[in-house]
Amino acid sequence: MVAGATLSRHRNVQTVVNRVIIPRGDLRIAEVEVLTGDHTITMCREYGFCYRLDVARTFYTSRLASERHRVWMQVMRNEEVLVPFAGVGPFVIPPASRGARVTAVEKNPESCRFLRENIILNGVKPQVIVHQGELEKILPALPFNVDRVIIPAPYGYDQVLFSLLPLVRPGGYLHFSTFKQASQVPALVREYRQSGLRVEYARRCGHVAPGVARYVFDMVKEDGSTSS
């Protein structure tokens, strides 16, 4: 009934799915139930960019579009930008379009395949280098002294911030998201400051579970800061 009503209202829709389990882990794959239709590949458009993806095998949420826009609008031409957990490219392609040199890391092979396709689709291939695999194993191959790192970390991956901190130049920016209860945030801010990070911006960016929300931080690496 729901699928039929959706198709009748939106003539351009061919497949209707129901998300059964929310994305978990670093592959961030959701379990979906196909209600009607024969494929799960779609095209999403966001602020003038196009992203092909498979809703059953890759991660993408339109709910973070404004947050992504807020972050990538800060990127300047000729910056060296690092994006782990790159997914299908919504944090990768816009900075590249602004003239940044972007290094993207993604573990999920399906996401990486669509990422490479979307880089070509959006005309930024010369600006992007893609690494497929586990971030910890790829760390030695990543650029040093980057100007900015954008970290849309999956649930439970807080420590990755400190793994990537040595790669950022003094004065460079880190954009980091994490999942916490409101009561945990003040201690988190203190930890970041003690690690040599100046917190310039912090806010809640959507609820993900009862009592748990996504929090986003813009931070600057100060001189002498190291990983903890």
22 near 30, Cβ under 8 Å? yes
- Domain positions in the chain are 2-54, 62-221
pLDDT tens per residue across span 121-160: 999 999 999 999 999 999 999 999 999 999 999 999 999 9
Residue with tokens 């399906």: 110
pLDDT tens per residue across span 16-66: 444 444 555 555 565 544 444 456 799 999 999 999 999 888 989 999 999
Whole-number Å distance between alpha carbons of 56 and 64: 18
Query: Residue 198 in 3-state DSSP?
Result: strand
Q: Which CATH superfamily is domain 62-221 in?
A: Vaccinia Virus protein VP39 (3.40.50.150)
E strand or H helix that includes residue 94: helix 93-97
171 near 226, Cβ under 8 Å? no
Q: Residue 7 — pLDDT band, cuts 50, 70, 90?
A: very low
Whole-number Å distance between alpha carbons of 40 and 54: 5
Whole-number Å distance between alpha carbons of 127 and 80: 10
